[in-house]
Amino acid sequence: MAQAEQALKVKSSGRFWRRLKLLTESPIGVAGAMLVLFWVFVAIFAPWLAPYDPNANNYEALADPLPNDMFLLGTDNQGRDILSRIIWGSRTVLIVAPVATFCAYVVGCILGLLSGYYRGWVDSVISRLADILLSFPAIVLYILIIMRLGPSAINVIVAVIFVASPQIIRIVRGITLEQRELDYVTAAKMRGESAIYIMLVEILPNTRGPLIVDSCLRMGYTTIQIGVLGFLGLGLPPPDPDWGGMVQETYSMMSTWPHMSLYPAIAISSLVVGFSLLADGLREISLRD
């Protein structure tokens, strides 16, 4: 098995570079990648980039929170520097969203493979459960789960798993159902490979194409969901900055101080647009090769 993994690694890195080179041919994909990379850079270097402590209250600024030379994007309703909060907020979202998406993928791939490979009652049980979860509108499911478990980063991740993995199960199951009928799987069975080997080494690598595009889209979608949870007051507990929460805290002051809501709204929109454009670029090149 170790050998198989190694073989997989060598190959996927080769494909990775090929894809990267191809991506430069899609202007939309490049634009998306730039936006995403910009925020990744900001998140990594947040301590150096942020001019102030994101949670420090500057009470003098309360009187005039508008942007000025000291506070480039102004201050919020508690006198905190909006620029610093946006910079630190990028960390929150860029950690929670990928981790949550990844966990959803692990769950979704395992259950999707099992369901598509074994079919029969295993498939019935898994697919039914997925269907039932899918018949809850996503936002209602989020509200129910957070209401039951309480708001925290871990629970946001749990909620994302419940919402996203049924869709991933569907995709992986569909591909598995198709692949398991192909001759190379029959050949593997005939040389006595175990079911686990066939699922992980033979079938899983071939789901990669559609999943790369999907994961990128899903990352954007998860970012929206995390923002929405923050906006509804179900996200991370204060005072740590989170873009959705920043809008929620200041939204009631829209008519007087629109900048407090506007800048975090722009931040989250640009990141999600980045993910979506990148996904579209990837989709475009995946059709080509």
Partner 1 sequence: MGAFAARRLAALIITMMVVSMLIFAAFEWTPGQVASKMLGPFATPEQVELLTEQMGLNRPAPVRYIEWVGNVLKGDLGYSTYFKTDVNNIIWDRLGNTLLLASIAFAIIVPCSIIFGVAAGMREGSKLDRTISVLSIVTTSVPEFASGVFLATIFVIILEWLPGASTLESGGDWSIASQLVLPVAVMVLFDLGYVVRMVRAAMVDVMMKPYIRTAVLKGLGFRKVVLGHALRNAMVVSLTVILLQINYLVAGVVVVETIFAYPGFGHMILESALSKDTATVEAATLIIVLIVVITQIAGDLGYMWLNPRIRFK
Partner 2 sequence: MSSPATLRKTAAVTVAAKPILELRDVKISYITRAGRIDVVPALSFSLAKGEALGLVGESGCGKSTVAYAIMKYLGGAGRITNGQILFNGQDMASMSEDQLRQIRGSKLAMVYQDPMSSLNPTMRIGRQLEEVPMLHMKVGREEARQRAIRFLGEVNLPDPELIMERYPHQLSGGQQQRVVIAMALMAEPDLLVMDEPTTGLDVTVEAAVLDLVAQLRHKHDTAIIFISHNLGTVLRVCDRVGVMYFGELVEEGPIKEVFANPRHPYTRGLLDSIPTMGADKHSRRLSPIAGQVPSALARPVGCGFASRCSFCEPATCTTVPIPTIAIPGEARHQAKCVRLSELPPHRRFQVVPGEATAEIAKSGETVLGIDHLYKIYRPSGTIFDSKPAEVRALTDIELSAERGRTLAIVGESGCGKSSLAKVLTGIEVATQGKVKLIDWEIGHVPVEKRNQAQKKSIQMVFQNPDSTLNPSHTVGFAIRRALQRLRGISASQAKTQAAELLRLVNLPMEFVNRRPRQLSGGQKQRVAIARALAGDPALIIADEPVSALDVSVQAAIINLLIDLQDKRDATLVFISHDLSVVRFLADHVAVMYLGRVVEYGTVEQVYAPPYHPYTEALLSAAPVAEVGKERERIILEGTIPSATKQIPGCPFASRCPRKIGSICDDQPPPEHVTQQGHRIACHIPLGDLAKLNTRAAE
Interatomic CA distance for residues 49 and 43, integer angstroms: 9
Question: Is residue 21 close enough to count as binding partner 2 by CB under 8 A?
Answer: no
Interatomic CA distance for residues 122 and 124, integer angstroms: 5
Q: Which residues, 6 or more positions from 102, have their beta carbon under 8 angstroms from its beta carbon? A: none
Phi, psi of 49, deg, nearest 5 = -80, -35
Which residue, 56 or 132, has its beta carbon nearer to partner 1? 132
Question: Is residue 135 close enough to count as binding partner 2 by CB under 8 A?
Answer: no
Which window, 7-15, 28-36, 149-157, 218-226, contacts partner 2 (CB under 8 A)? 7-15
Which residue, 200 or 279, has its beta carbon nearer to partner 1? 279
Of the candidates 40, 118, 193, 238, which one interacts with partner 2 according to CB under 8 A?
193
Phi, psi of 193, deg, nearest 5 = -70, 150
By a kind-dependent CB cut-off of 5 to 8 A, residue 131 interacts, out of partner 2, partner 1, none, with: partner 1
Buried b / exposed e along 210-243 (16+ C-beta atoms within 10 A):
ebbbbbbbbbbbbbbbbbbbbbbebbbeeebbbb
Interatomic CA distance for residues 185 and 198, integer angstroms: 7
By CB under 8 A, the residues from 200 to 229 that bind partner 2 are: 202, 205-206, 208
Which residue, 110 or 216, has its beta carbon nearer to partner 1? 216
Which residue, 10 or 287, has its beta carbon nearer to partner 1? 287
Q: Which residues, 6 or more positions from 152, have their beta carbon under 8 angstroms from its beta carbon? A: 236, 237
We find the least distance from the C-beta atom of residue 117 to partner 1, in angstroms, to be 24
Interatomic CA distance for residues 156 and 172, integer angstroms: 23
Look up residue 10 and give its amino acid: V
We find the least distance from the C-beta atom of residue 89 to partner 1, in angstroms, to be 13
Which residue, 25 or 53, has its beta carbon nearer to partner 2? 25
We find the least distance from the C-beta atom of residue 212 to partner 1, in angstroms, to be 17
We find the least distance from the C-beta atom of residue 182 to partner 1, in angstroms, to be 22
Question: Is residue 284 close enough to count as binding partner 2 by CB under 8 A?
Answer: no
Interatomic CA distance for residues 7 and 284, integer angstroms: 27
Which residue, 3 or 255, has its beta carbon nearer to partner 2? 3
Residue numbers at the binding site for partner 2 (CB under 8 A): 3-4, 7-8, 11, 25, 124, 182-184, 186-187, 189-193, 202, 205-206, 208, 288
